[in-house]
Amino acid sequence: MPTLRGIALCLVLASPAAFAAGTNSSSPNLGQPVRPADVARWDIEILADGAGLPAGEGTAAQGAAIFAEKCSACHGDGGRGTALLHSGASAPPALVNDQKLKGMDASRITIANYWPYAPPLFDYIRRAMPWNEPRSLTDHEVYALTAYILAENKVIDAKQTIDARTLSKVRMPNRDGFLPRFPELMPR
Amino acid sequence: MEKRTGLPSDDETFEQVAGNGLLHRRALLGKGAAAAGILGAGLGPSATGAAAEPLVEPPWGLQVGDDTPAYQTPSKFAKNVVRTLSNPKFEPRSSISRTPHHLLEGTRTPNGLHFTINHTGIPEIDPQQHRFLIHGLVKRPLIFTLDALLRYPMTSRAAFVECGGNSAPLFSPTPIQADVQALHGLASCAEWTGVSLSILLDECGIDPRAKWFIAEGADGPHLMRSISLAKGLDDAMIALYQNGEPLMPGNGFPMRLLLPGYEGNMNVKFLRRIKLVSGPAMSYWETQVYTEPMPKGKSYNFDFLNEVKSFITRPSPGLDLKQPGFYEISGIAYSGKGKISKVMVSADGGKSWGEAALQAPVPSKAFTRFRMPWRWDGRPVILQSRAWDDQGSYQPTRAEFVAARGQLDAEPSVLAFKNHHCNTITSWAVNSHGKVTHAYA
């Protein structure tokens, strides 16, 4: 049975003042506390298992139209790649490709033959693309583009709706294709 | 006259420690006039023969010089000491600049010459508006301004930063004819000053479920990497200064993550967010990009460390030898695991080796300059260096490296990244005319 004194102690510990009192007084403590709701715009990482995927959904058909408008200038029609840039340098990578991985040549890596997880595709499109206008896509648009690229690569059925639940369940063909280079440095 | 006690006798100075004229490193360790005399003795008569022209008073000593700029830049006679640019027209792709190792000495890369890779241009970040957030599996999420971080206890340390794609041209089955800047220019070394990440994590209060953290930049790609929390608590730093001045824009101004010894891309620039998490994100950068397909079987991922490497910067392609005689072979060695313990140099393609002098102090996870006295007799030679670190790792020969990691079927573009993390020995061939080329041996 909790005593009155014990209840009072719990209340003190739960207050913000208690947090401040609990910190190392020899440390500067110059960070500003922030509420989780106020970091939402930045809180964008998606983990390999799909943790962090937002609400929303999209289909390959929706994605095709967005891709043609916002992506194909660099990645080519249907994500099949473009010719070399004016300088002769490699163009941005083709997103849709049925080539096989062969030996140690990393230029043969594709989403279909290499990526172990599907949620990072959503993560990367949302954080970095389009190249000239990053973070301009809505979550719905990102789901639609993710669906389109996976469907064109024949990883998912073209009719499948992609959302947080279905994207987390997509099993990429090369899921088990990796070994950590330094197992002793991997967290346990 | 300086007393010569303790310095080698002339006979010892002549001591050749390995084939094709490599001399004992003692020849470099003396001081002042005495050492100069010893090197002279090693050379015998003047190599040039003809007497020097009579001295005159040159024009710059007869007039007033230039005024003093607020921020000084190199002499116009050193205008060739610049980075090479992969994307000079700024096409919609990454922009890469490479350090001109063959035109530099010592162990600190000048800030204007530090290599950079930026994927969506260099952001112009207002440091007063920049915010750095630590959240996730912590008791107290906190936001730090630059002004706040500047009040924290700071530390300074030397550290190299090396792109995982540095030296990728050496995956070619044939030696690509390029200079040390093109082959190894994606590594640089600076003195970094900033706040230990462990102090800030401690203030946030680490949830025991946290095993990893993600670090994210404020630039267009919002580049994100997953890093073990153990590294974050070990020697990770929020770097604010580079060789004593605020970070260069291309190197992450106003703040970057510094992970000494770890793959360059993980040292996230323009750092704006760290989130403690239970598992890795498997982001684009650690899935598509910085992983290594192997000749057969599974691919490597989480290739955190840059392993021990060395290369000779002088002589090297573009720095041809004008005549036989004395030269100092000079180069850079470093290891992401610790300190360089030994560098061996060969002038006969690896048949025989002599131990190079290491410039003190030898710091951990930073460039170490090695030097080797050499008397070239004018015949063709192949120069190589090979480094060891204090953790027991050593640089593989080309044969050893190819056996483990494979090589490409055909010669790629020198700019291509057909695989990552290559640390094999580099060979420079010197022909009888003194021309230096890249070779395999």
Instruction: Judge if A35 and A62 occupy the same domain.
Output: no
pLDDT of residue B15: 86
Q: Does A130 sit behind a cis peptide bond, omega within 30 degrees of 0 on the bond before it? A: yes
Instruction: Judge if A13 and A99 occupy the same domain.
Output: no
* B152/A contact by beta carbon, under 8 A: yes
> Is the confidence at residue A67, as pLDDT, over 80?
yes
* A94/B contact by beta carbon, under 8 A: no
pLDDT of residue A10: 41
- Mutation choice for B interface testing from A24, A127, A167 by most B CBs within 10 A: A127
Q: Which of B203, B272, B294 comes nearest A31 by C-beta?
A: B203
Cα(A125)–Cα(B226) distance, rounded to whole angstroms?
18
pLDDT of residue B40: 41
Instruction: Judge if A71 and A98 occupy the same domain.
Output: yes
- For residue B154, list chain A residues with Cβ-Cβ distance below 8 A: none
Instruction: Judge if A118 and A170 occupy the same domain.
Output: yes
Taking an 8 Å cut-off on Cβ atoms, the answer to whether B283 and A123 are in contact is yes
pLDDT of residue B325: 97
> Is the confidence at residue B222, as pLDDT, over 50?
yes
pLDDT of residue B36: 41
Residues A11-43 pLDDT 10s: 434 444 334 434 567 899 999 999 999 999 999
> Is the confidence at residue A177, as pLDDT, over 60?
yes
Average pLDDT over residues A131-159: 97
Taking an 8 Å cut-off on Cβ atoms, the answer to whether A106 and B212 are in contact is no
Task: Kindly report which listed range (A16-25, A39-48, A72-81, B161-170) carries the lowest average pLDDT score.
Answer: A16-25
Å between B10 CA and nearest CA of chain A: 49
A165 vs A75, higher pLDDT: A165
pLDDT of residue A103: 92
Cα(B310)–Cα(B263) distance, rounded to whole angstroms?
16
Q: What part of B 375-434 touches A (C-beta under 8 Å)?
A: 405-409, 412, 415-421
* B369/A contact by beta carbon, under 8 A: no
Q: Does A134 sit behind a cis peptide bond, omega within 30 degrees of 0 on the bond before it? A: no
- Mean residue pLDDT of chain B comes to 93
Q: What share of chain A is helix, strand, coil (3-state, %, to 5)?
A: 45, 5, 55
> Is the confidence at residue A87, as pLDDT, over 70?
no
Instruction: Judge if A24 and A79 occupy the same domain.
Output: no
Say if A142 falls within a structural domain.
yes
Average pLDDT over residues B383-403: 98
pTM: predicted TM-score of the whole model, two decimal places: 0.91
B43 vs B267, higher pLDDT: B267
Distances in Å between the Cα of B105 and the Cα atoms of A80, B99, B192 are 46, 12, 19
Name the residue range of residue A19's domain: 4-39
- For residue A28, list chain B residues with Cβ-Cβ distance below 8 A: 148, 151-153, 199, 203
> Is the confidence at residue B41, as pLDDT, over 70?
no
Two tokens, residue A127:
């954080």
Which residue has tokens 């760290």? B274
> Is the confidence at residue A88, as pLDDT, over 80?
no
Give exposure, A154-188, as e/b (b: 16+ Cβ within 10 Å): ebbeeebbbbbebbbebebebeebbeebeeeeeee
Two tokens, residue B107:
């162990």
Say if A160 falls within a structural domain.
yes
Residues B74-132 pLDDT 10s: 999 999 999 999 999 998 889 999 999 999 999 999 999 999 999 999 999 999 999 99
Say if A97 falls within a structural domain.
yes
Instruction: Judge if A161 and A71 occupy the same domain.
Output: yes
Instruction: Judge if A132 and A98 occupy the same domain.
Output: yes
> What is the tally of structural domains in chain A?
2
Could you count the other beta carbons within 10 Å of the beta carbon of residue B182?
18
pLDDT of residue B267: 98
B417 vs A20, higher pLDDT: B417
Cα(B374)–Cα(B14) distance, rounded to whole angstroms?
10
Instruction: Judge if A115 and A74 occupy the same domain.
Output: yes
Give exposure, B28-44, as e/b (b: 16+ Cβ within 10 Å): bebeeeebebbbeebee
Rg of chain A (C-alpha set): 23
Say if A186 falls within a structural domain.
no
Average pLDDT over residues B397-413: 96
Across A14-18, A86-90, B46-50, B223-227, the highest mean pLDDT is recorded for B223-227
Cα(B302)–Cα(B438) distance, rounded to whole angstroms?
31
Instruction: Judge if A81 and A168 occupy the same domain.
Output: yes
> Is the confidence at residue A82, as pLDDT, over 90?
no
pLDDT-based confidence at B386, cuts 50/70/90?
A: very high
Say if A167 falls within a structural domain.
yes
Average pLDDT over residues B373-391: 98
- Residues of chain B with pLDDT > 90, as a percent, come to 90
Q: Which of B88, B228, B418 comes nearest A107 by C-beta?
A: B418
- What one-character DSSP code corresponds to residue B350? T
Helix (H/G/I), strand (E/B), else coil: B89? coil
CA dihedral B22, B23, B26, B32 (to 10 degrees): -110
Distances in Å between the Cα of A163 and the Cα atoms of A45, A171, B30, B436 are 16, 14, 71, 58
The CATH number assigned to the domain holding A104 equals 1.10.760.10
Instruction: Judge if A75 and A34 occupy the same domain.
Output: no
Find out whether B303 and B164 touch, Cβ atoms under 8 Å.
yes
pLDDT of residue B46: 55
Rg of chain B (C-alpha set): 24
pLDDT-based confidence at B272, cuts 50/70/90?
A: very high
Instruction: Judge if A81 and A30 occupy the same domain.
Output: no
Cα(B440)–Cα(B219) distance, rounded to whole angstroms?
40
Q: Which of B93, B214, B412 comes nearest A45 by C-beta?
A: B214
Contacts of A62 (CB under 8 A, 6+ apart): A140, A144, A147, A148
- Mutation choice for A interface testing from B130, B206, B282, B305 by most A CBs within 10 A: B282
pLDDT of residue B29: 58
pLDDT of residue B47: 55
Q: What part of B 289-328 touches A (C-beta under 8 Å)?
A: 291-296, 298-305
Find the residue in B nearest to A112 (Cα). B288
Say if A164 falls within a structural domain.
yes
pLDDT of residue A25: 74
Helix (H/G/I), strand (E/B), else coil: B282? coil
- Mean residue pLDDT of chain A comes to 87
Instruction: Judge if A30 and A95 occupy the same domain.
Output: no
